[in-house]
Structure 1
Amino acid sequence: MKKALTFILLIALWHSADAQMKKRSGNPIIQGWYADPEVAVFDKEYWIYPTYSDKYEKQVFFDAFSSSDLVNWTKHAHILDTSSVKWANRAMWAPAMVEKEGKYYFFFAANDIQNNNEKGGIGVAVADSPGGPYKDYLGKPLIDKFHNGAQPIDQFVFHDKDGQYYVIYGGWKHCNIAKLSADFTAVDTVFKEITPSGYVEGPFMFIRNGKYYFMWSEGGWGGPDYSVAYAIADSPAGPFKRIGKILQQDTAVATGAGHHSVINVPGTDRWYIVYHRRPLTETAANNRVVCIDEMHFDDHGLIIPVKITKEGVKADKL
């Protein structure tokens, strides 16, 4: 009888511990090799749209993940792939998401073009729901040329407080900003370079207390020095003066922490950073996982360097 009671108590304790663990997301938050996550809130759900992390020739589709609380995530497989984008054949990277007038617009890069004569660049797909399926919107890339030295990859779509939408993008250590047409079918012919010191790729922008926070990735994506830095300005076109790094490796937790996005829980001043990193057990460049941690600001509005964790974040239900 005593042994039976002891066994029942142990089972109860195990279930209690398991329940406590599930109150935090843990890191990584989704299973599998993924990178370059874009996080958004649609229809009272959190969504993550990452790059499938593999050899370029195998990067021919996108998966998405949804959650109501940042802890429990549901996979939505192959929401967009090359069967719906005839001009794309490999290296489909770094989604950027926008909802407008009941439609969901999925911006992506494809083909890793190396010059203006190659076919590829930044495209747009559209769907009626956040989980797709998405179809090619234009039948061709939105941006297919190099402007100001910026490779057309790593696009972010920024919605300014005056209603204007901008595309902010660029690899090869150059970053451009340009106005988007109201229907997302065209880009203003003026590509303004806003490259800050240290910029490599992966731009992201948000507004807090009237200030424009511009963030980007530094270092090499395949190495341990990958990281995120930022600047603050009074307009989306800058000028942006680098302030410092706010996300980087912790050799006790993971390496290569970078290419991120940020979410502000609607109606609050709670902020989270979603990013990829490389587990300590991995050395292969494409063995990257998506993680989440809290992001905080000091009394002057500066971003406090993020502590990357194994535990992730507590449940935060919308």
Structure 2
Amino acid sequence: MYRKIFNLAILIAAVSLYITSCTQPAKQAEQTEEVKMSGNPVFEGWYADPEGIIFDDEYWIFPTYSAPYEEQIFMDAFSSPDLVNWTKHERIIDTSRVKWAEKAMWAPAVVENKGKYFLFFGANDIQSNEESGGIGVAVADQPEGPYTDHLGEPLIPAFHNGAQPIDQFVFKDQDGKHYLIYGGWGHCNIAQLNEDYTGFIPFEDGTTFKEITPDNYVEGPFMFIKDGKYYFMWSEGGWTGPDYSVAYAIADSPFGPFERVGKVLQQDAEIATGAGHHSIIHHPDTDEWYIVYHRRPLDRTDANHRITCIDRMYFDEDGMIKPIQITHEGVAQNPL
């Protein structure tokens, strides 16, 4: 009787040891598995002014091809399921499909509307109303294009309120209205787009372009809503220099008034210079926030040697944006 009990105890112990030996390596592997990081830059090549956005189950980045103006005659796009693995989509638009654009195709902003994708861009870097160019819009059936000219002419071909027609961003408000926020030369305008993006809807006072310029604004506007507040961000300094940076303000309306809070993104002498012209991606499920921006490697002095990077953006308990740390590591893999 005692021998049977003893033998049964040995058998139970042996089975338990076997199960432990089978599962322990898996647990150890699970504990030591490395987190995959995007690295910065997130993809190879000279790219700037990145527009980051989510379409369906993919992250997208639409940047400017960073080169001399005469070579900026096309745009590429990049897509990723997880922020780590990126696919390049070449020449989603070029000057052969936008006859009035000759050079300096800048700062794409892409939005989906009624099953179509609309790409807003600046072209020709006009210096006065006597020159041809400005902000255009193109359309495609899918995010990767190919995009074709929507109007056959610029949507905004002239200066309003002193704002050079560049650096456009499409903002969708909580009531479904779409606004174009844009401007260089230290001035920023907001205008309400009509339903098919062929023009604008005047405001109640009869004006079409309202200036919302905050202190120190230079270019590169971006806006988002968090907890009912409107966060307005922009670039300061000169894009060719190390002092390029990003600042922000908060208001109760997309029209402001926007009082500058301070800088949140700037160079790090140990990592890179000229960190600016950004966009924001908000993961809808995990409530993680990412800033997508360009910067210049420390060993580069050419103005067009800009790379696209991603880092995390955090808020404090009062909803203020914490200073952003630029990194070489980038962000962790995060599938949609």
Q: Does the TM-score normalized on the shorter chain lie above 0.5? A: yes
Give, in angstroms, the shift of residue 58 of structure 1.
Answer: 0.2
Partner of 1:164: 177
- Contact 1:22–1:71 (CA under 8 A) maintained in structure 2: no
Give, in angstroms, the shift of residue 269 of structure 1.
Answer: 1.8
1:283 aligns with 2:301: yes
Larger-Rg structure: 2
1:60 aligns with 2:60: no
Letter in 2 for 1:156: F
Partner of 1:119: 132
Task: Please list, as runs of the form range in 1=range in 2, the aligned pairs for 1:168-179 lying within 5 A after superposition.
Answer: 168-179=181-192
Partner of 2:8: none
Q: Structure 1 segments of 4 or more deviating over 3 A?
A: 19-22
**How far apart are the structure 1 equivalents of 2:153 and 2:33?**
49
Letter in 2 for 1:54: A
SS in 2 for 1:29: coil
Partner of 2:41: 28
Letter in 2 for 1:110: A
Letter in 2 for 1:85: V
Identity rate, percent: 69
1:209 aligns with 2:227: yes
**How far apart are the structure 2 equivalents of 1:281 and 1:115?**
36
- Structure 1: unaligned runs, 5 residues or longer: 1-15
Partner of 2:216: 198
Give, in angstroms, the shift of residue 256 of structure 1.
Answer: 0.3
| CA root-mean-square deviation | 1.3
**How far apart are the structure 2 equivalents of 1:219 and 1:21?**
38
Give, in angstroms, the shift of residue 267 of structure 1.
Answer: 3.0
**How far apart are the structure 2 equivalents of 1:227 and 1:21?**
32
**How far apart are the structure 2 equivalents of 1:87 and 1:22?**
47
Partner of 2:24: none
Task: Please list, as runs of the form range in 1=range in 2, the aligned pairs for 1:84-95 lying within 5 A after superposition.
Answer: 84-95=97-108
Deviation track 1:98-122 (CA, whole Å, cap 9, x = no partner) reads: 0011100000000000000111000
Partner of 2:111: 98
Give, in angstroms, the shift of residue 188 of structure 1.
Answer: 3.3
TM-score (norm 2): 0.88
Cα distance change, pair 51–20 in 1 and its aligned pair in 2 (3 A) = farther
**How far apart are the structure 2 equivalents of 1:299 and 1:60?**
44
**How far apart are the structure 2 equivalents of 1:281 and 1:69?**
29
Partner of 2:267: 249
SS in 2 for 1:57: helix
Deviation track 1:67-93 (CA, whole Å, cap 9, x = no partner) reads: 000001000000000000000000000
- Contact 1:278–1:288 (CA under 8 A) maintained in structure 2: yes
**How far apart are the structure 1 equivalents of 2:180 and 2:255?**
11
Partner of 2:324: 306
- Structure 2: unaligned runs, 5 residues or longer: 1-28, 203-207
Letter in 1 for 2:212: I
TM-score (norm 1): 0.93
**How far apart are the structure 1 equivalents of 2:305 and 2:34?**
25
Partner of 2:94: 81
- Contact 1:142–1:187 (CA under 8 A) maintained in structure 2: no
